[in-house]
Amino acid sequence: MIIHPLAEVFGFPATNFSAGAERYRANRLCPYNNRVPSCTKDKANDPLGVCSIFDGEQPVITCPIRFRQEWLIAEDAARFFFPPENRWTSLTEVRLNDLHGRSAGNIDVVIVAHDQNGKVLDFGALEVQAVYISGNVRLPFAEYMSRRHEKGLAGLARRAAMATAGLPLLVAQEIDASTSIQRRNPGRLGQKAGRCCAELVFRHSAGLASS
């Protein structure tokens, strides 16, 4: 039975106290291809290093950077967007302008298909969204970081009154986000953007549970 809410802390299961796991916690590092080596979730100077929490006994991702493990999400997106023979590369945090040239935010990942000379043939946009939580996860996180070497973690459960948002809601939000991309890029890629969001959200959440 799960007796505390934290599934992964700074990239490792909360019950993993190996030298590698403790090094990441001591230095507040992120092993999942963050834009910098350190975890920057919530606050750069005091990061909330929780990658996933338990919903019952099921781990669910609460940090979007967690989806970047080994860049499987980019590989899956490329397989979804392009034929298998295509060469591709990926870009992160790509600025999206509106029709007036003003910033409309960033696209989390853009997958670009190209030929052997580097000419762009096609592209796909991927918006990444982790599960929302209600309640305060920083309190059990702070308690875990200060007491993690004590025997048992049952005390953390009293501090964690949280609920996860349903995956169908997240998919709906991702499809809504893809609409702006579709308006700027009508046709095959725009039509596929929402379906790609839905497929990848479910696939990677299921992958975490089985890992």
Q: How far apart are CA 156 and CA 173, in angstroms?
A: 31
Say yes or no: 86 and 124 in one domain.
yes
Say yes or no: 156 and 96 in one domain.
no
- pLDDT digit string (tens) for 124-150? 888 888 877 766 788 889 989 988 887
Closest C-alpha among 61, 56, 59 to residue 1: 56
Range from 71-80, 120-129, 160-169 carrying the lowest mean pLDDT: 160-169
Say yes or no: 112 and 186 in one domain.
yes
Q: Does residue 205 fall inside a structural domain?
A: no
- Cβ proximity of 138 and 42 under 8 Å: yes
Average pLDDT for 90-94:
90
pLDDT for position 139? 86
Could you list the residue range(s) of the whole structural domain that residue 111 is in? Answer: 70-128+166-200
Instruction: Give the number of domains in the chain.
Output: 2
Q: How far apart are CA 12 and CA 16, in angstroms?
A: 6
Average pLDDT for 1-24:
88
Say yes or no: 122 and 182 in one domain.
yes
pLDDT for position 137? 86
**pTM of the full predicted structure?**
0.73
Orientation of helix 72-81 relative to helix 188-210, angle to 10°:
140
Range from 7-11, 63-67, 148-152 carrying the lowest mean pLDDT: 148-152
pLDDT for position 136? 77
Provide the residue type at 11 as one letter: G
Residue 149's Cα: distance from chain center in Å? 28
Say yes or no: 45 and 12 in one domain.
yes
